[in-house]
Amino acid sequence: MSLSMISPTIPANEEKRLESIRKLDIIDTFAEESYDSITKLASEICQTPIALITILGSEKNWFKSKLGTSIPELEREFSFCGHAILNPNELFEVPNTLEDVRFKDNPLVLPLESGVRFYAGVPILDEEGLPLGTLCVLDSKEHHLTENQKSSLKSLAKQVELLFEYRRKNQALEKMKNDLDENNRILREFASTVSHDLKMPLANMIITADILKAKYSDKLDDDGVNYLNYLKHSGLTLSEYINGLLDYYSSSSLHEDTHQEFFLNDLLEDIIDLLQIDQNCEINLPDNNLKIFGNSAALGQIFMNLISNSIKYNNSEKIIIELDCTENREFYNFSIRDNGIGIPKEKQNNIFELFTTAADRDRHGKKGHGIGLSTVKKLIGSLGGNITITSEEDKGTHFEFNIKRSRKVD
């Protein structure tokens, strides 16, 4: 059959328009309530049985949302939307398709009883003003939109544009997340390689320094003995640094461990035993021995780092550390307060950043690596919580943090 209908022309910016559609990556995606609610509103406002959100590809007109039809797509040459996008800043309305030379022989119009008689579409634009498709309404009888209906249809089309913008931003965030995950994977592999390749030579260096000191100390002057001590100290420092990096890059996997039920004070007592505290130190456990269902390994590492820091960065004759805990419906809340050297105000905003330290030296004169608190913040974040700090120089530091309660499955 020969048709006298006029197929829509191809826009001058067609390649850029199609590239924008490819980047949006929306064709053949599943139906979404946020889009379907817009077609429902468009149908009700315009009093038409059919409403569509379309994406106009190179050959097909695909429907992201459709109301009143089961057709998933149609040929672009028969598409009303192909005409609508030619004037991207205007609403395109055809009150009666039988009276419009562009559509009177269109296969969608020809069925006299059920064919499309009315069409109105608003182009949906990307951030550069390129038309990607339309929000359109259709009817099987002649129809005329009121000015209010036209204004409402344009407003709804703007909402579709916002949804497209959110989709693009979510795609960018997802790509950024994937890139970060890949970078972290590479860093973890690097840390593992460093651990494997350096730990044994470092251990040998430390042991050799001890052997040389034990065997030849009577033949060395004071400088020689000091050199051996310095060699051992440097080896131990580097070993601690490597262990800190390994802890940091492995901490992201701790929150995946199986949750279990445990008492907080039992966990804290185990940590204090592991620290082998030999200073004049008083650690006061919470009065409330909280029963927790959660990740004991992750929480243990958090307290291990915080208590260790409270001891290392403390010049008081008697170290005092106060631990406390509470709970509510959503979170476990924890507190650790010490009488240490405190953290300067100018450092408090970035104290949780990697390689940032509270002081140049700890109570033993050793320089910190700035990994522990960064690991703490990372772990707490993975457990759905947050950490804050209150500190005053020479008066102590108070950390407060929470972790999201886990639901126990029977």
What are the extents of the domains in the chain?
A: 14-168, 257-410
Q: How confident is the model at residue 241 (pLDDT cuts 50, 70, 90)?
A: low
257-410 has the same fold as 14-168: no
CA distance 50 to 73: 14
Q: How confident is the model at residue 352 (pLDDT cuts 50, 70, 90)?
A: confident
Residue 177: predicted pLDDT: 87
The arithmetic mean of pLDDT across residues 367-387, rounded, is: 81
Residue 2: predicted pLDDT: 46
Question: Is there a contact between 327 and 403 (Cβ–Cβ < 8 Å)?
Answer: no
Residue 170: predicted pLDDT: 94
Note if the pTM is more than 0.75. Answer: no
- CA angle (108, 113, 117) in 5-degree steps: 50
Q: Over 70: is that where the pLDDT of 370 sits?
A: no
Residue 32: predicted pLDDT: 95
CA distance 204 to 226: 19
Q: What is the mean pLDDT of the chain?
A: 86
Question: Is there a contact between 405 and 330 (Cβ–Cβ < 8 Å)?
Answer: yes
Could you tell me whether strands 281-284 and 319-327 are parallel, antiparallel, or unpaired per DSSP bridges? parallel
Q: What is the 3-state secondary structure (H, E, C) of the chain?
A: CCCCCCCCCCCCCHHHHHHHHHHHCCCCCCCCHHHHHHHHHHHHHHCCCEEEEEEECCCEEEEEEEECCCCCEEEHHHCCHHHHCCCCCCCEEECCHHHCCCCCCCCCCCCCCCCCCEEEEEEEECCCCCEEEEEEEEECCCCCCCHHHHHHHHHHHHHHHHHHHHHHHHHHHHHHHHHHHHHHHHHHHHHHHHHHHHHHHHHHHHHHHHHHHHHHHHHCCHHHHHHHHHHHHHHHHHHHHHHHHHHHHHHHHHHHCCCEEEEHHHHHHHHHHHHCCCCCEEEECCCCCCEEEECHHHHHHHHHHHHHHHHHCCCCCCEEEEEEEEECCCEEEEEEEECCCCCCHHHHCCCCCCCCCCCCCCCCCCCCCCCHHHHHHHHHHHCCCEEEEEEECCCEEEEEEEEECCCCCC
Residue 1: predicted pLDDT: 41
**How far are the Cα atoms of 232, 314, 316 from residue 364, in angstroms, in the given order?**
16, 10, 13
Token representation of residue 387:
């950490």
CA distance 29 to 294: 37
CA distance 106 to 188: 61
Q: Over 80: is that where the pLDDT of 254 sits?
A: no
Token representation of residue 249:
């890059």
What confidence tens digit (pLDDT) does each residue in 137-158 have?
Answer: 999 999 999 999 999 999 999 9
Architecture of domain 14-168: 2-Layer Sandwich (3.30)
Residue 287: predicted pLDDT: 92
% of the chain surpassing 90 pLDDT:
51
- CB neighbourhood size of 355 (10 A): 10
The arithmetic mean of pLDDT across residues 326-340, rounded, is: 94
Token representation of residue 254:
């701790």
pLDDT: which is higher, 10 or 234: 10
CA distance 150 to 153: 5
**How far are the Cα atoms of 8, 17, 20, 62, 396 from residue 129, in angstroms, in the given order?**
19, 9, 11, 20, 57
pLDDT: which is higher, 278 or 36: 36
The arithmetic mean of pLDDT across residues 329-336, rounded, is: 94
Residue 354: predicted pLDDT: 65
Residue 185: predicted pLDDT: 74
Token representation of residue 163:
């949804």
Q: Which of 108, 76, 104, 81 is nearest to 92 (CA)?
A: 81
> What CATH fold (topology level) applies to the domain 257-410?
Heat Shock Protein 90 (3.30.565)
Q: How confident is the model at residue 225 (pLDDT cuts 50, 70, 90)?
A: confident
Q: Over 50: is that where the pLDDT of 79 sits?
A: yes
Amino acid at position 34, single letter: S
* Most confidently predicted of 213-227, 230-244, 319-333: 319-333
What confidence tens digit (pLDDT) does each residue in 158-213 have?
Answer: 999 999 999 999 999 998 888 887 877 776 676 667 666 776 777 777 888 888 88
Question: Is there a contact between 203 and 243 (Cβ–Cβ < 8 Å)?
Answer: no
Question: Is there a contact between 337 and 322 (Cβ–Cβ < 8 Å)?
Answer: yes
Contacts of residue 253, Cβ cutoff 8 Å, sequence gap at least 6: none
The arithmetic mean of pLDDT across residues 218-242, rounded, is: 78
Q: How confident is the model at residue 218 (pLDDT cuts 50, 70, 90)?
A: confident
- CB neighbourhood size of 201 (10 A): 10
Q: Over 70: is that where the pLDDT of 236 sits?
A: yes
Token representation of residue 63:
């429907």
* Most confidently predicted of 186-200, 241-255, 339-353: 339-353
Q: How confident is the model at residue 5 (pLDDT cuts 50, 70, 90)?
A: confident
Token representation of residue 161:
């544009």
Residue 366: predicted pLDDT: 66
Q: Which of 322, 315, 324, 366 is nearest to 342 (CA)?
A: 315
